Structure 1
Amino acid sequence: MVRLDKYLAQMSMGTRSEVKKFIKSGRVFVNGAPASGPEQKVTEEDNVELDGEKVSYEKYVYYMLNKPQGVVSATKDNTCRTVLSLITDSSKKDIFPVGRLDKDTEGLLLITNDGALSHELLAPGKHVWKTYFVRVMGTLGDNEVECLEKGVDIGEDKLTRPAKVRCLDKKELDMVPEDPGYPGEDESCLELSICEGKFHQVKRMLAAVGHPVLYLKRLSLGGIVLDPGLAPGEYRRLTQEEIAALKCRSKDIAGKCE
C-alpha cells in the first residue's frame, strides 16, 4: 500500500504538493468515494480517479529522448549533466538509459525502468538493429562500403558484424535530421545500421576505412524511430504501439541479424 499523494505523483499526475491540492479540492475519488486525504492508503487494485479520469497503475515507464551533445548517458556523473536530468515529468527513481550514446553523439535514447526489456535490447545475442546518420571526412568509395557491409577490423577478436550502408546525396539530406555542420568540402553523409554495440563502434568502423566521423546521430533502435518533432533535449513517452514493437522479438520487428 502507498499514500494516495505519492501514488498520484508516481503516475505523473503532478508533484506531491500539486496532487495534495487536487485531493483537498475534491478532484480525486477512490473506489467511487471522495478521497479522505493525501495520506489515504491505496493499492494498484483500487480505482483511483482524477477529474473523472481513471489513473491506472503504471509499473514501468518508457521515454524516447532526443539526446543532445554534451550530456552523458548515465544515471549519475560528478562533472557532467546526465540524460536523466532531462526527464522532468517522472517520479520514478529507478529509471535509466537503455545503453549509451557518446557525450558528443546526438539522437534516439530510450529511458525506462524495465530491466528485462533493456536486457532484450542490449544483450549481444539479440542483435537489435540501430541506425545512425553520420557525416564523415571524405567520400566513401565502393570498396569502403563493401568493407563495412562485410565486417571490418576495429581491434577486436573478430570483425564487426555486417553493416548496412546507404550513402546520401544532397536531395536525401533534406529528409534526415538537420546536421549543424552540413557536408562541407571533402565531406559526405551516410546512414549506417549495425546490430551490435561495441565501445565507440560507429566511429571505429568509419576510422578503419579511412573516414573519421565528424557528426553522429542515432535515428532508430529496434524498430523505434526518433520522433522528428523532438528537438535536442526534448522527450516524450512511447506510445503503446511502440512499446509493443520493442517487446516483440519477431525477426521482422526486432530486426535481428541474419
Structure 2
Amino acid sequence: MRLDKFLCETLGVTRTQASRVLKSESVTVDGNVIKSGAVKVSEEAEIEFEGRLLTLSGPRYFMMHKPAGVVCSHEDAFNPTVFVLLDEVNGEKLHIAGRLDADTTGLLLLTDDGQWSHRITSPKHQCTKTYRVWLADPIAADTASQFEQGVMLRGEKQVTLPAKLEQVDDYEALLTIHEGKYHQVKRMFAAVGNKVEALHRESVGALELDETLEPGEYRPLTDEEIALLR
C-alpha cells in the first residue's frame, strides 16, 4: 500500500492533507522520516505519526472512568465533552455505547463497532447496567419491592422492567436495571419519592469498571472484556 493511502485511512485525511503531513516530517516508517507518499509500505512496517503508532487493525474498544462535569457528546456549546479526554487518532470516529448524564460518573464504553454497541444499547438485548446511588432521603423499606415489580415513570406508558435494588445503608444502594431510558435511575427514585444526589455506573453486563482508572482516564478493552458483551 502507498504511504499516503495508509495515512488517509488511519488519520481520516484527504490525499492532499496526507501530503502536507508528510512534508511536516512527522511520519516515520520503521524509525525513518519519510516525506514521499508514493513509498510502498508493508503490513509489517511500523508507521508512526507524531510518535504514535498507526495501525489498520479492526474496531476499537475503550473503557473510560467518566468524571463529573463532562458530557457524552462530540460537541457541546457549554460543557467539555468526554472526547477531549481521548488521545486517539481518529477519535471523532468513536461513539459512546450507553451515555451517562453530565453529573454521573463511572464506566463509559467507546467504540467504532456499531454491532457491538447495539447489543449494549438495544432494549431487546436487555443488557444490565449497575449503578451505585446516593440518595437525599433514607431509602424506604418497600423501595426494593417496588423496583422489582416495576414503577411508572412520568411521561411513560409502561412500567419499568424489573430492577434489583441492593441497599448498602440508609442513603446508599446498588441498582441494576435492564433498560436505558432517559434519566432512568433518577426518575425511578423520583417515582418513589426520593432524590438522587450522586450516581456512579459500576458495570455494564459482566464488564466492570477497572478500579485502577482515575476519573478521566481510559484504556483499551482486552479481548476477553470485549467478548463479555458480544
Does the alignment reach a TM-score above 0.5? yes
TM-superposed CA distance for 1:199, in Å, is 0.4
How much does 1:143 deviate?
1.1
Structure 2 counterparts to residues 1-258 of structure 1, below 5 A:
1=1, 3=3, 6=7, 20=27, 22-23=28-29, 26-27=30-31, 39-40=37-38, 46-49=43-46, 57-155=56-154, 156-169=156-169, 188-247=171-230
Displacement of 1:123 after TM fit? 1.0
- Partner SS for 1:242: helix
Q: Find the residue that maps to 2:62 and give its secondary structure.
A: strand
Partners of 1:60 and 1:240 in 2: how far apart? 12
Question: CA offsets per residue over residues 74-118 of structure 1, 9 Å max, x none?
Answer: 111122111111111333431111121111111111111111111
SS in structure 2 at match of 1:145: helix
Normalised by the length of structure 1, the TM-score is 0.73
Query: Contact 1:106–1:218 (CA<8 Å) still a contact in 2?
Result: yes
* Paired residue type of 2:166: R
3-state SS of 2:171 partner: strand
Please list the CA deviations of residues 46-73 of structure 1 after superposition, one character each: whole Å capped at 9, or x if unmatched: 332469xx97632311110111111110
Distance 1:216 1:41, change over 3 A: farther
Note the aligned Cα RMSD (angstroms).
Answer: 2.8
Amino acid at match of 1:206: F
Deviations 1:129-176, CA, capped at 9 Å, x for gaps: 00000000222233111001111111211100000111114xxxxxxx
Structure 2, unaligned runs of 5 or more: 12-20
Unaligned 5+ segments in structure 1 are 29-34, 170-186, 248-258
Is contact 1:149-1:164 (8 Å) kept? yes
Counterparts in 2 of 1:56 and 1:147: CA distance versus 1, 3 Å: same
2:18 equivalent in structure 1? none
SS in 1 for 2:173: strand
Greater CA deviation, 74-83 or 63-72? 74-83
In 2, Cα distance between equivalents of 1:6 and 1:123: 34
Q: 1:90 to 1:145 in 2, by over 3 A?
A: same
For the Cα contact (< 8 Å) 2:10–2:54, is it kept in 1? no
Could you tell me how far apart the structure 2 residues matched to 1:151 and 1:125 are? 17
On the 8 A contact 1:8/1:19 being kept in 2, the answer is no
Q: Which moved more, 1:118-127 or 1:1-10?
A: 1-10
Contact (CA 8 Å) 1:84, 1:96: kept in 2 or not?
Answer: no
Once the two structures are TM-superposed, the CA of residue 2 in structure 1 deviates from its matched residue by: 5.6
CA shift in 2, pair 1:191/1:246, >3 Å: same
CA distance in 1, matches of 2:25, 2:146: 57
Task: Give the Å deviation of 1:40.
Answer: 4.6
What fraction of aligned residue pairs are identical, expressed as a percent? 37
The residue type equivalent to 1:39 in the other structure is G
Structure 1 residues 128, 232: CA separation in 2 closer, same or farther (over 3 Å shift)? same
Q: Are the counterparts in 1 of residues 74 and 92 from structure 2 also a CA contact under 8 Å?
A: no
Q: Matched residues in 2 for 1:82 and 1:166: separation?
A: 32
